[in-house]
Amino acid sequence: MAGSQLKQLKEALKKQGLTGQTNTKSKKNIKKAPSDSRRDDKREVLEKIREQFNPFEIKVNKKKTDIDERSQKGLTGRPGISKQIGEDARMAAYEAKKSLKNRTGIFKDRRFGENDKNMTEEEKMLHRFAKERQAQSSKKSMFSLNDDSDDEENEVGLTHFGKAISLKDDFEQEDDLKNGSDDDDDFLKPKKRSRDDDEEAEEGALEFQHEEPNRKKTKAEVMKEVMAKSKFYKQQRQILREKTEEKIFDLDEEYDDVLAELGSVPKPAAAKAPQFAKVDANGMSYEKSLKELNMERRAVPADRTKTEEEVRKERADKMRELEEARLRRMEGMEDSREKGPDELDDDFWAGSDSEGYVLGQNHIDGEDDEEEEEAGDEDDEVDEHGVPKKFKQNAEIQCPESHDDFLDILESYKFEETITAASKILTTYAPRLAVGNKEKLGIFTVILFQHILYLSESELIEEEKFAEIQEGLVSLVKTLSQKYNFELTQSLRDKIEEIHERITDTLQGQDEFPRISDLTFFALVGVLYSTSDHYHLIVTPTCIVLGEALEQVKYETLNSLVAGIFIAETFLKYQRISKRFAPEVVYFLQKALLSFIDEELESDLITGKADAKFDLPKTLTYNEDSFIKISDLELDNLDTEASKSSIFHKLINVIELALDTWKDKSSLLEISAPFVTILAHFQTKYPDFKPLSQLSLKFTRLLKFAQDERVPLTLQAHKKLSIATFTPKFEENFNPERKSYDENRSRVELSKMNKQIKQERKIALKELRKDSKFEARQQIKEKKEKYAEYHSKMKRIMNTINTVEGAERNEYDREKKLRKSKK
């Protein structure tokens, strides 16, 4: 067995006499060993040894069948030599290209218009002549001392510390410190122009209009004329704008006085019509009659009266579109295109009637009244001066800017007339009557919302018509919230932040939450806005606050427990359409049920723990008409048996509402498991309490259905795919020497030519890539050599300088020592 590559190499070198003892004299192989003088033979021997030990230096093309054992041309190749030949050829081409660099040039005709095909020869000559004249004039006037045309534009005078020194007299200028700060308001007002400034601007603008120069204007003169005209026209526009603003300001100041005194102004006597005026039989001119007919609303053609079927179809289509939009909002799906301002319907900010909130007939009547109010000038009686009598009667009512102002206004009305007072304000300050009324009504919408919360905690709750007034105010706010949603949204978000801060204070030991106004606020949010949206500016943070209140607040009294039950019920009503699961509600309902049990229930399914314990009466009674209300939170006698029975009955109803809301959830078994355990304990203790028995039966029935419908999780079932089968394709007249079976000879030749072109293109691109890489390598190599030569040169120079300086320093030291020795 042969040795390693290294041993074989050593043996080959020793056999050829290149290593080992070379001075042995052998008569047998003395002619074959290379001597020191035969270097070419030594190089050939080394090349043969190198080729023998480098298998990549020779490439052999093996044939499938060896028909002829004789050596054939092209069976072996030397890629290394071929590569070196290509490198040498590229080096020669690179050197030739580098030697011709900056030694060849092309004549470029840069004459004006030479390359423009759209210009004739005469136009080219004229433009060239004009260019030549301009160049000559600019050269002559460049250093001319008599030409002062550019002095004003490019004047360079004396300077001191970078600032120009003015040679004009400063005593004639106005002292700025003289009228320093006589009035603080003048600082914010724009500086008034003087008459001299206006005259100067006019003279500057007309200076070049009257001047008729005999020579061509320079660039500086043209620019000066343009600037003067621009300044003049700008001042003219500013003067006109100031006059208009003054007139508008005067009219704004006098507008209120004019409206207040319109009733006292006597009717002017009718002027005598001229003889040539056209007057009809009733004494009315033709122009006035035409104007009144144009302004008459009844003159506008009305739409065709629709049939009942068309009205029902339009209503059904509208409701279908609103429901589709609500479903998209509930799923969090946004339209790909943005809605235009004309497409923002009433469902833009809410539409919660479909979610179970009924506002009553007052809401519909309120909308009808508003439509009649906006219908216009048909029903409004107009006095002799053209002012609506309704506006004239209500002119003394001021639009409140805060809730305290609104309370001051309501002092002159009875409690039953609250809706009337609010309607008068809305009628008086309708947006169509004056500019700025829209902003006022936006603030008034917020005030009405605050007034609803105020009434919920006031003593007026005992009034006979309190529910009717409250419902009317809610209807007004519902209608106004669709038009003035920006101000109301800002106010409600501030209110949510305030409730959150009070919850935080309650957790720290203070008694700040919950209030009756807080519960009223949560209910109003569900009435005003769509609670099924995936994200909403008001509903989403409200849900967060509701969850925080149910989970973190400790309900240690019956009053607070009642508030928690109302909060849980409101939270569930929010989810009546979207059916989203709220774990905070489940946690609170467990705590509320456990608070009525004396002993501790040991079960792994129960996750909650009661904050306090309340004793239930031995016998539970209920009355369908005696439900507990929000206003009962202020009562101190909730510790009675009747009150506890009502509270427990309310709690059972809320649990049933939660069951109806989440009965379609796949996790109903896990949600209901703790309630089944707790309700079983209550049912053994109170078997005659009908609502409890009905709820337990409902739980049992729904859990049975959920258990039957639940199936184990499995992998997704895919349809089995069969193996694709294809019929084999055979060529009857197969010929291995024939590459194409196309009978069209021209098409065959064209295909052959395309293949050759494609192959040649690939070869050419390959060679171009090789050339570019070679040039890049050569450029990097030259740069490295250049940098190395530069650094070596600098080192040589520095060494020379250091040597010379060292010799001179030594000579200086010797001279210094010599002088010291002489002393």
Domain residue extents for the chain: 195-210+218-248, 319-329+347-524, 554-708
Cα-based distances in Å from 367 to 73, 212, 313, 314, 647: 103, 74, 22, 19, 38
pLDDT(149) > 80? no
Whole-angstrom distance, CA of residue 636 vs CA of residue 793: 104
Please give the average per-residue pLDDT across 615-642, as a whole number. 71
Q: What is the pLDDT of residue 665?
A: 85
pLDDT(778) > 90? yes
The HSE-up count of residue 535 (CA atoms within 13 Å, CB side) is: 3
Q: What is the pLDDT of residue 788?
A: 95
| Closest of 434, 366, 440 to residue 398, by C-alpha | 440
Q: Which of 2-16, 56-70, 497-511, 687-701 has the lowest mean pLDDT?
A: 56-70
Whole-angstrom distance, CA of residue 757 vs CA of residue 762: 9
CB burial string 90-115: b at 16+ within 10 A, e below: beeeeeeeeeeeeeeeeeeeeeebee
The HSE-up count of residue 193 (CA atoms within 13 Å, CB side) is: 14
Of 573 and 631, the one with more pLDDT = 573
Q: What is the pLDDT of residue 422?
A: 87
Of 359 and 48, the one with more pLDDT = 48
Q: Which of 144-153, 292-301, 443-452 has the lowest mean pLDDT?
A: 144-153
Of 418 and 738, the one with more pLDDT = 418
Cα-based distances in Å from 126 to 111, 140, 784, 789: 12, 21, 56, 57
Please give the average per-residue pLDDT across 711-737, as a whole number. 80
Whole-angstrom distance, CA of residue 565 vs CA of residue 588: 8
Cα-based distances in Å from 394 to 255, 430, 436: 17, 12, 17
pLDDT(345) > 70? no
Please give the average per-residue pLDDT across 617-621, as a whole number. 77
pLDDT(664) > 80? yes
Whole-angstrom distance, CA of residue 652 vs CA of residue 695: 8
Cα-based distances in Å from 335 to 245, 325, 332, 341, 597: 44, 9, 10, 15, 52
Please give the average per-residue pLDDT across 766-785, as a whole number. 94
- Sort residue 26 into left (φ over 0), alpha (ψ -120 to 50) or beta: beta
Q: How confident is the model at residue 172 (pLDDT cuts 50, 70, 90)?
A: very low
Q: What is the pLDDT of residue 736?
A: 77
Q: What is the pLDDT of residue 823?
A: 66
Whole-angstrom distance, CA of residue 634 vs CA of residue 520: 14
Locus of tokens 């569930």: 572
Q: How confident is the model at residue 766 (pLDDT cuts 50, 70, 90)?
A: very high
Indicate the average pLDDT of the chain.
75
Please give the average per-residue pLDDT across 101-121, as a whole number. 79
Asked if the bond preceding 341 is cis, omega within 30° of 0, the reply is no
pLDDT tens readout for residues 553-597: 888 888 888 888 899 998 899 888 888 888 898 888 888 888 888
Please give the average per-residue pLDDT across 92-119, as a whole number. 82
pLDDT(406) > 80? yes
Q: What is the pLDDT of residue 779?
A: 94
Please give the average per-residue pLDDT across 466-494, as a whole number. 87
Q: What is the pLDDT of residue 383?
A: 47
Q: What is the pLDDT of residue 750?
A: 93
Q: What is the pLDDT of residue 239?
A: 92
pLDDT(254) > 70? yes
What is the three-class DSSP state of 86? helix
Rg, Å, the chain Cα set: 52
* Geometric angle at alpha carbon 329, from 323 and 334, rounded to 5°: 120
Q: Which of 59-68, 103-112, 160-169, 555-564 has the lowest mean pLDDT?
A: 160-169
- Percentage above 90 pLDDT, the chain: 8
Is the separation of the CB atoms in 372 and 378 below 8 Å?
no
Q: Which of 197-206, 732-741, 771-780 has the lowest mean pLDDT?
A: 197-206
pLDDT tens readout for residues 72-99: 665 677 787 888 898 999 999 999 988 8
Q: What is the pLDDT of residue 362?
A: 40
* Geometric angle at alpha carbon 301, from 295 and 303, rounded to 5°: 135
What is the three-class DSSP state of 331? coil
Q: What is the pLDDT of residue 264?
A: 65
Q: What is the pLDDT of residue 210?
A: 46
pLDDT tens readout for residues 673-722: 888 888 888 888 888 888 888 888 888 888 888 888 888 888 888 888 88
Measured in whole angstroms, the distance separating CA 690 from the mean position of its chain's CA atoms is 56
